[in-house]
């Protein structure tokens, strides 16, 4: 389910999708949005097109994608400079 479809300063055109296992999927710098808030999508749905919006303006078109969990994974935190982010951010490569 698409929770947010719109524009923010740094990410430009973005989508935030709630997926299985309460995971949030974030897509940023999209050129066009082809989904709207509260719509249901699946793996075959075209949700947008790759672009260079937000702070990526003037750069090559690309996509920023991240997966986050709404339930903190406390055991993943470590002493790295931004180790606290491991509570929420998951490695997308582990899911493909």
Determine the pLDDT at residue 24. Answer: 97
Give the pLDDT confidence score for residue 96 in this predicted structure.
Answer: 66
- The residues, ordered by sequence, that sit 6+ positions from 79 with a Cβ below 8 Å of its Cβ are none
pLDDT at residue 2 is higher than 90: yes
3-state secondary structure of 35: coil
The CA distances from residue 21 to 12, 18, 67, 69, in Å, are 27, 9, 11, 8
Q: Where are the domains of the chain?
A: 2-95
Please give the CATH number for the structural domain made up of 2-95: 2.70.70.10
Q: Over 70: is that where the pLDDT of 70 sits?
A: yes
Q: What is the pTM of this model?
A: 0.90
Per-residue model confidence as pLDDT tens digits over 25-64: 999 999 999 999 999 999 999 999 999 999 999 999 999 9
pLDDT at 69 over 90: yes
């Amino acid at each position: 389910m698409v929770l947010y479809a719109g524009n923010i300063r740094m990410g430009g055109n973005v989508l935030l999708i709630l997926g299985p296992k309460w995971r949030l999927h974030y897509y940023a710098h999209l050129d066009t949005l082809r989904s709207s808030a509260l719509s249901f999508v699946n793996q075959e749905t075209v949700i947008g097109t790759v672009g260079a919006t937000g702070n990526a303006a003037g750069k090559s078109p690309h996509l920023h994608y991240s997966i986050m969990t709404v339930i903190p994974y406390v055991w993943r935190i470590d002493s790295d400079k931004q180790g606290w982010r491991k509570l929420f951010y998951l490695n997308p490569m582990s899911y493909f």
